């Protein structure tokens, strides 16, 4: 009996860990190479600009161009003008695009292809052509106001805002949310403000940051409209002190990047807190 049991015992072999395939190594190596090339493409010009701005004519490095920024004439007014234009542009863009996108997704889903074609036109048409046409057609009182630029910036920001909102609405069941809200007695304004907008937080933040970056970096239209915004001031002051103007441009880029990082971090933390509340 013991010999029969011994013959039927199967020797146990511990499971072997599967070896990583060479294909997976090649994929990871390819991704790393692409990320390295992309990092070099973006970081090398920034490094060159910082190197130029912090180096004087004798080849010595100093923080004097950065410390001299607050005392430069015209910088404060140019910065605040750009910020006012950015705030007005973001407000008009959201007031126009959010209800329009919700209506298209609810009532005219086939019209989305036409909207894609329409919103791509500001990228196809050069800004110089757009601003010259606007200056010829705009009334005198509007041409005398800097907020004419905000109206034109709304058109420039439309491709980016449309795609951000379209992606956000595409991830939601908008029809069900609206029908549930309407069945409970909420009006359209309350439905959009209290139901749709909170679910579009990430898309709205992305659209806002893209609009802000566009306004703070636009030069052609502001210069032709003869308003000294931040990019116009940087180009004009470059003829006086190129080191300081380059430092201002780098700080503007860094501030935009930090703002984008802060918004993304806050959005992720808020999403995690909401998930924890749902699971608890």
pTM of structure: 0.77
pLDDT at 201 over 70: yes
**Half-sphere exposure at residue 124, Cβ-oriented, CA atoms within 13 angstroms:** 6
144 falls within a domain: yes
Residue in the structure block whose two tokens are 């407000």: 91
What pLDDT, on the 0 to 100 scale, is given for residue 123? 87
What pLDDT, on the 0 to 100 scale, is given for residue 148? 93
What pLDDT, on the 0 to 100 scale, is given for residue 222? 92
Which residues span the domain enclosing 134? 74-275
What pLDDT, on the 0 to 100 scale, is given for residue 2? 46
165 falls within a domain: yes
With bands split at pLDDT 50, 70 and 90, how would you rate the model's confidence at 84? very high
Cα–Cα nearest to 75, from 214, 258, 237, 217 = 237
What pLDDT, on the 0 to 100 scale, is given for residue 6? 47
CATH of the domain at 197: 1.10.3720.10
What pLDDT, on the 0 to 100 scale, is given for residue 4? 45
38 falls within a domain: no
What pLDDT, on the 0 to 100 scale, is given for residue 150? 93
63 falls within a domain: no
pLDDT tens digits for range 231-263: 998 888 877 778 888 888 888 888 778 877 777
Our CA angle for 20, 25, 26, nearest 5°, is 140
What pLDDT, on the 0 to 100 scale, is given for residue 81? 93
Question: In the chain, how many domains are there?
Answer: 1
pLDDT at 25 over 90: no
55 falls within a domain: no
The mean pLDDT value for 91-116 works out to 88
């Amino acid at each position: 009996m013991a010999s029969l049991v011994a013959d039927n015992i199967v020797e146990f072999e511990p499971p072997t860990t599967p070896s990583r395939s060479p294909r997976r190594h090649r994929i990871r190596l390819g991704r790393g190479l692409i990320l390295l090339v992309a990092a070099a493409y973006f970081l090398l010009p920034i490094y060159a600009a910082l190197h130029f701005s912090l180096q004087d004519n004798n080849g010595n490095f100093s923080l004097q161009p950065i410390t001299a920024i607050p005392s430069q004439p015209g910088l404060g007014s140019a910065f605040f003008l750009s910020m006012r234009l950015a705030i007005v542009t973001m407000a008009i863009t959201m007031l126009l695009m959010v209800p329009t996108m919700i209506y298209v997704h609810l009532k005219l889903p086939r019209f989305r292809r036409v909207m894609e074609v329409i919103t791509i036109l500001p990228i196809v048409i050069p800004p110089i052509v757009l601003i010259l046409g606007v200056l010829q057609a705009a009334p005198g009182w509007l041409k005398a106001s800097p907020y004419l630029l905000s109206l034109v910036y709304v058109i420039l920001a439309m491709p980016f805002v449309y795609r951000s909102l379209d992606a956000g609405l595409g991830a939601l069941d908008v029809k069900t949310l609206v029908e549930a809200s309407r069945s409970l007695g909420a009006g359209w304004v309350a439905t959009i403000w209290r139901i749709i907008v909170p679910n579009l937080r990430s898309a709205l933040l992305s659209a806002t940051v893209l609009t802000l970056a566009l306004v703070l970096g636009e030069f052609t239209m502001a210069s032709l409209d003869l308003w000294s915004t931040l990019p116009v001031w940087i180009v004009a002051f470059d003829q006086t002190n190129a080191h300081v103007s380059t430092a201002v441009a780098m700080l503007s880029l860094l501030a935009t990047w930090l703002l984008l990082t802060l918004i993304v971090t806050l959005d992720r933390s808020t999403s995690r807190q909401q998930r924890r509340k749902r699971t608890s």
